[in-house]
Structure formats: C-alpha cells, structure tokens
Amino acid sequence: MSIREANLVPDTTPAPPPGGPTSLLDIHQVSVWVGATPRTIRTWIAEGKFPAPIRGLGKLRWHLETLTMWARAGGSAPRRGRGRPRGEGK
C-alpha cells in the first residue's frame, strides 16, 4: 500500500515546512510528514524502502525535495504483517 493510498500523503504534495524547498528536515519532522514513527523510518531505511538520509553531526536529515520526489513517485509504506494475505493458501 502506498502512502498516498493510505491517505498519509494527499493527492497534492504537503505544504513544505518553513524554510523553503531546500530545507533539511530532521527525523521527527519527517515522521510527522510521512505519518510513521522515527523507529519505523529507520527500519525502512535499513530495508531500502525509504530515501537515504544525509548524515551529519550524528543526526539524520533529509532534503524536502528528496522526500517530495519520493512521495510523488508513489513512495510506499511497507505492508504490515507477515506471511500470506488472509484467505490464500487454504
């Protein structure tokens, strides 16, 4: 399920936070923007399902433009749960 399908990102890209399109967002700002916890975002990064952050001074940061392009390209949140979908394999 994509984030857009989950209604976490509306059809139009969310308004950028103050600072303009070249703003760097920290993991807490990104978690609000995406609708996932910082821990989940870290997991997605490790699994290659989320854009890689810019690392500096021990903090994770993302360019707003990078996240906007990811969301417009159908950036997807991994499905929850494991195994087969219900009703399959019976």
Pair 20, 52: CB distance under 8 Å: no
pLDDT top residue among 85 and 62: 62
Structure tokens at 6: 């989950």
Grade residue 83 by pLDDT with cuts at 50, 70 and 90: very low
Listed by start position, the domains of the chain span 24-71
Model confidence, pTM: 0.59
Pair 41, 30: CB distance under 8 Å: yes
Question: Ranked by mean pLDDT, which of 3-12, 44-53, 77-86 comes out on top?
Answer: 44-53
- Looking at the predicted structure, is the pLDDT value of residue 77 above 70? no
Task: Give the separation between CA 75 and CA 90, rounded to whole angstroms.
Answer: 32
